[in-house]
A and B are shown apart, each in its own frame.
Chain A
C-alpha cells in the first residue's frame, strides 16, 4: 500500500465517523485519569448510554495534561465543538448525558472549556485559557485529543506524512532537515539530533535505533500518542541507517500495552518490517520493558542492559546505536510533517525548541504541558500551574527532577533552557512552599538518587551515600557545624569527577539548596530548629489554649494515646509519647493543634477546664 492509499482510507474512516449523527464521548483513561477514577466514570457512561439507548461512540484517549481536572470527559455532537468536563464523577457523567445527549443542554455549569471552532455560551474555548495559550504543543500535539489506539485517527491528523516525506529523501537530506530544525536532546542543551544521527551513520557495522521511554513525560506521551513516537522512530531509523531497534519502556503495563498495540497496527499496514511503504527501507522493532532506573538514561548503560548485562555506564567508545527519548522522537515526526523551519520557530532563535514539563508538588494546578524554550519558569508555574495556591507562599522550585536544582522564588524569571534544566532533560518541576523543609526534601531526593547509583564509580556510589547520610544526620539533630561546608565540598567533588551524568548531577539538589537556603541548614545544625516545622526531631505539636473547646477529636485521632483530656477540658499532648505523626493536626475542627520548632510553648502539665487557663494566665 502506498501512503496515499493509506491516508485516503484513514480519512474516509474518520469522515464517516465525523459525519455520522452519533455523538462522541471522550474519556481520559491514561494513568492519571485512571488514578482519579476514570474507569468507573467510563463504565457509568457505557451503562447510561445502553440504558437510554443512545447510539454514541465512546473513545478512550490519553491525557490532555490537566491533571487537576481528571477524570476529564469530553462530549462532541455533530457540528458542535467538543465540550470538556472536569473532575467528572459517575453521577455528573450521568447528568451530562441526561442534559446534553438526551436533551440539548451542554451544561455550561459543569463544562470547563470547548475545543473546536464553534462556541458555546458560557464556556471558554481551550485556546483562550492561559494554561493552553502559553504552551507550544509539538510532541504533545495530539495527546488527549485523538484515540491513541487508532492508527487511522493519527493518520487523519497528518500522521505518517513525515515518514512518507523522509522516504523520498536521501539519508543526507533527512539528516540535513533535522539539523535545520535545531532539535536536540535534552531540548536546548544536548547533542543536536542531526549530529547524533550522522555519527551513527558513519560508525561501522549494523546500527540500531533505541527508543528510551523511562521518564514520566515519555510515558505520558506513549499513552497519549504512541504513533507520533513510532513515526519518529521510523524516521530516525531511516536517517541513521538502522534496520533494527529497541523500544525501552519503563515497566508500566499501560504504556507498554499501548506501544505494543500501536506497533502491531503498524506491521499490519506495512509500516513496520520489510519494504516499508513499498520502499527498500526495512525496520524491525523489539519492545522491551525495563525498570525505570535513573542510570538507564545513560546510553551506554541502557545499551548494556539490552545486551543482557548489568546496566552500568561504560566509558568505552561509540555505540552502534542512536538512543533518543520518546519526547524527541515525537518532535521528530512533527518536524517532518510540518517542516524544520516550523519547529525552529519555537523558542529563541539561537536555541530553538520546546520542552515537555511535568508540574507537581505544592502547585494549584499540577499537570503535563509543553512550552517553547525561553519561557520564563515563573510564567509556567503561575500561568499553567496557578502558583502555590491560595494562602501559601512559594519558597522554591526543584527544576529537573531528582537530579535538578532548587531555584528560589527570586530566580523564577529564568527562561526555560539549560540553566533551568541542567540534568539530562528530565522535565519534572516540583514546587515547594514555606511548609516544606528543604533539608528534609533534599535528604529524600538523595536517598532516591543514591539508591539508584549503579555502584560503579566511587564518587557517585560513596559520595551520594555520604551526602545522604550527612543530610539525614542534620535532620535528626546530629549535624555538625562543619557539615554545610563538607556537603558543599563533597557535592562539588562528586559533580566534577563522577563517571556519568547520574553522578555528575546527583549533588545538584544539595548544592543548590545550600547556595540558596544555607540558613535553613544552619537553623537545623546550630539552633536545632526546623523553620518549616517538618523535621520531627525539632518539632513539637501542642494544643493552643485559647482555641481548644474540649472536644475529643484530637484525642481520638491520636494512635499513640499521647493526648490527655476530657469533656470540656483543654487537651494536652504528652511530648514523651508523641511520635509527631501529625494526625491530630487536621483532626481538630477549631484549628487548635499547632506545631512549633525551636521554642517550647507554655502548656499546662495536665488538662484544665476550657477557659480557666487563659483567665489565670491573665491574672
Chain B
C-alpha cells in the first residue's frame, strides 16, 4: 500500500483556531496569567509559537526573548529580530554568554573534549554526531568531531564519560535561557511558552529544566512538517520558513538528524506517524525510497528513544501520594 502524499496535510486555518482557543483557555483561565514569554531562536518552532501567542493574546501581551551566546549563529539573532518586527511584539535581548562563563560552561565542555582530543583548545570548533540509522544495523555510537583553526578535522568515538560531560556542560545553555524566560514571566505575570514539535516531544529531544520546561506547549501535538504548514499559513518571514533545522548548540554547524534523529524531519515525520498508527514498514519504505529493513531500524530507534527519555516527561516522583495536590489539570 502506497502512503498518500497528503498524509500529514493540515487544515491550517482550523488548527490555528483550535490552538489559539486552547491557548486562551490554558493561559488566561487555568494558569491565570496575562500573556506569554517566548524565547526566539529564529527557528520554525519558536516562530510559530510566537505567532500563535500573538494571535491568542495580542501583540502587547507577548514578549520575545533573544538569547544569543558564543556558539549560536548570527542568523538566529537576525531571524528572531525579524520575526518580532513582523509580529509587532516587544523583544528583550539577553545575551547569555556571561552567565555561561560564570557557570564555566565552555571551560567544562572544553576539558571534556580535551580528554579525548588532547590538542583541542578554545580556538577549535566541535560538534557531536551520530551515524545514520539507515546505513547499517550497527549501534549508533556518538562521535566527537573537532576542527582546528587550520582546518584539520579529527573524529573520535566518544567514551560515555566524555559524552555525558560535554552534554551536561552544554545543557547550561538551555537552562540559562529558561531561567531568563521565567525571570521575565515572573515580573510580567506571564506564562512561559514551550516550543517543541511532536518529533521533539515524543522523542525526548529537549533538556529537562531547560527547553523542556514550560507552562504550556502549544505545538507538541504537531508533526514538524505540519509546523511548517502553519508557518506558511501565518505568513512568517520566508527566511524562517526555508531555514534548515539546526541544534544551534555546538560551534560547528550541526543538523538535528546528525545529533539525534534518524532521518531528515520530513521522513522522520512519516515514520513516526506510521509507527503511531500501525502502518507497516513496507508501506513506509515504498514512499520514502528506503528498504523495509531500514524503516524497521527507524521504528526500533523511535522505541529506544522513548524508553531512554521517558524520565524527562515525569514530574518529580513522590514516595507517597499527596491527594490534595494535583500536578495536572
Chains A and B belong together in one complex: no
Chain B: residues with CB nearer than 8 A to chain A?
Answer: none
